[in-house]
Structure 1
Amino acid sequence: MQNTRLTKLLEFLAAEPNDPFVLYALATEYNTQNDAEKAFGYYLELIEKHPDYVGTYYHLGKLYEKNQDTEKAILVYKEGMLQARKKGDNHAFSELQGAYNSAMGLDYEDD
């Protein structure tokens, strides 16, 4: 089923190469398939071409963390929070802030 989904997404990309949703869907699909190289490629393309597509920052940051690059993850979360503020997307800001705090070791738990 994943190959069918990936094939369809690549067809959508050929038809609409600058559609941020298609780029995001491809990045997510490759991430799900553990193809970090392609996932990074599409997430980074999204940030470059569509910096206001705020969902990208959370998932890109998590991918950096998964690949043991916490410093880059923190930078991505910070940029994502700035973009979320610009858009007035408080939900995305909150999620990014939580991810940032966790990456920084600032997530607090009640005992």
Structure 2
Amino acid sequence: MMSDRLEQLQEFLKDSPQDPFLKYAMATEYLKLGNQEEALKGYLDLVTNHSDYVGTYYHLGKLYEKMTLVEEARDIYQKGIVITQKKRNMHALGELRGALNLLDGEDEDEY
């Protein structure tokens, strides 16, 4: 079943098919609806075609973790860390480092 929000986002994408925010919102909506496959496709499209859209890396990493794809999660967190450092997005950088530390079983407070 498609949500009203998903239908709205698809309509918006018809007018702006390369808008990374709309693509991100769609992927996130698919995830909320439990459609991991479509969410994954959306996040992978963002990483491929809008690599500087930093919000993608955290959510894609968490999706990989949920799918028990630990190495893929680690890799995407590390790629996101590089991007956020370049963009000087300290908030996203902190989130990605925290997620990577949790994945690796390290306590953030140890540093």
TM-score (norm. length: structure 1): 0.93
Indicate conservation of the 8 Å contact 2:30/2:36, yes or no.
Answer: yes
* Shift in Å, 1:108: 5.3
Query: Which letter maps to 2:87?
Result: K
**Quick one: distance in 2 between partners of 1:73 and 1:64?**
5
1:106 aligns with: 106
Change (3 A) 1:98 1:108: closer
Q: Letter of the 1:62 partner, please give it.
A: K
The CA RMSD over aligned residues, in Å, is: 1.4
- Paired letter, 1:24: Y
Give the C-alpha shift of residue 107 in structure 1: 2.5
Q: Determine the structure 1 residue equivalent to 2:44.
A: 44
1:15 positional shift: 1.2
Q: For 1:17-75, what per-residue CA distance to the aligned partner results, in whole angstroms no more than 9, with x for missing partners?
A: 10000000000000111101000000000011111110100000000000111110000
Unaligned runs of 5+ in 1: none
Q: 1:69 to 1:3 in 2, by over 3 A?
A: same
- Equivalence for 1:13: 13
Indicate the residue corresponding to 2:54 in structure 1. 54
Contiguous gaps of at least 5 residues in structure 2: none
Identity percentage of aligned residues: 48
Q: Which residue of 1 aligns with 2:33?
A: 33
Q: CA deviation at 1:109?
A: 6.8
The one-letter amino acid paired with 1:4 is: D
Off by >3 Å, runs of 4+ in structure 1: none
Q: Distance in 1 between matches of 2:109 and 2:48?
A: 35
- Count of matched residue positions in the alignment of Structure 1 and Structure 2: 109
Partner SS, residue 3 of structure 2? helix
Shift of 1:105: 1.1
Per the alignment, residue 24 of structure 2 pairs with 24
Provide TM-score, normalisation by structure 2. Answer: 0.93
Letter in 1 for 2:107: D
